[in-house]
Amino acid sequence: MKIIVGLSGGVDSAVAALSLRQQGHEVEGLFMSNWDEDDAYCTTAQDFQDARAVCRELGIPLHKVDFAAEYRRQVFADFLAEHRAGRTPNPDVLCNREIKFGVCLTHARRLGAERFATGHYARRIDGQGGPELHKAVDAAKDQSYFLHAISPQQLDAALFPLGEIDKSEVRRRARAAGLPVHDKKDSTGICFIGERPFREFLAQHLPDTPGPIESADGRVLGQHRGLPFHTLGQRGGLGIGGLRDLPEAPWYVARKDPARNALIVVQEHNHPLLMSRRLRTLGAHWLMATPDADFTAAAKIRYRQTDQPCAVSLQPEGRLEIDFAEPQRAATPGQSVVLYAGERCLGGAVIEAI
């Protein structure tokens, strides 16, 4: 079987290619360039050289493709629009659906690939009703949360060779095979932002829109530079402190009031304004047959959160209302709530309101 592996220049995708090569498949690498700004935080040039070195060691071809224009149109434009609206989007979810398993999968098929593999920690299992997305064996690295929005057709073409092994084994295999990236540091942060200061980056693309910072009882405590620069649950970075008649305790962003351009903050980590049992979503994406009745499941409202029992109520236009057994802290509009039945990822949706 001819398989194209999306190579990022990191150890995970390198071992994905190694594993498939050892299984006897015809393997080729594909390096995607998705960001076209050259600065101190952009590692694309070095990542490409690392991917080339891996392919030389494995004796496989490497293709390179530039999807920067598609990324700006299909992912980054949505990222900015959501921030302007005061929400906090997750561009990695959209990148997987639109870029990695969208235009990149299409390109891999043009190259003759039967399957497209990545270094994601997740499992694709052939079920009775078709392919299923399951959590990785390494629970600490499981990335099914970021893959929940791909379509069943995209999942059908996908391979995740790392789903059955943990990260320490990945590095051991890379070292044993002499792969030059065996000890390369894992990348962190949002895909196109990386480790650059987030607010500085956002300020290059969105104007300041100052407004009041208020306590829960309406007392004005200071001024924020713009609602897009803050997220629910955020601690610090508010420029307030040492206020008369108030305790010296951390402040947390609890609410955004776009109508008044006000940021509401509280001093308790689990203040009632930060806690919610119910949320509403936009239209859901399903990796199973679209449900026709309400059901119970487990949910995550952020990556690496433990599964939270919930009841899922179907709403018009594919929307959902989700009621949790326990209050959830800082459920954030724009982020995704992802649903599970045991190890299987059922799908998910973008949080609209709490």
Q: What is the set of active-site residues? A: 95, 191
CB 2 within 8 A of CB 112: yes
What span, in angstroms and rounded, lies between the C-alpha atoms of 108 and 181? 24
Question: Chain-centre distance of CA 162, in angstroms?
Answer: 18
What span, in angstroms and rounded, lies between the C-alpha atoms of 18 and 177? 8
Sheet holding 26-33, edge to edge: 62-66, 26-33, 2-6, 115-117, 158-159
What residue type is 4 in one-letter code? I
Neighbours of 61 (CB within 10 A): 12
Neighbours of 325 (CB within 10 A): 12
Closest CA to 71 of 100, 46, 49: 100
Long-range CB contacts (within 8 A, 24+) of 302-305? 302/145, 302/332, 302/335, 303/145, 303/146, 304/140, 304/145
Taking the CA atoms of 183, 189, 192 and 197 in sequence, report the sign of the dihedral they define: negative
Residue 285 forms beta bridges with which residues? 348
Distances (CA, A) of 335 to 89, 132, 256: 5, 23, 15
Closest CA to 30 of 2, 47, 10, 8: 8
DSSP SS3 for 265: strand
- Beta strands per DSSP E along the chain: 2-6, 26-33, 62-66, 115-117, 123-127, 130-134, 158-159, 211-215, 220-224, 252-257, 262-266, 275-281, 285-286, 295-300, 308-314, 320-329, 336-341, 344-353
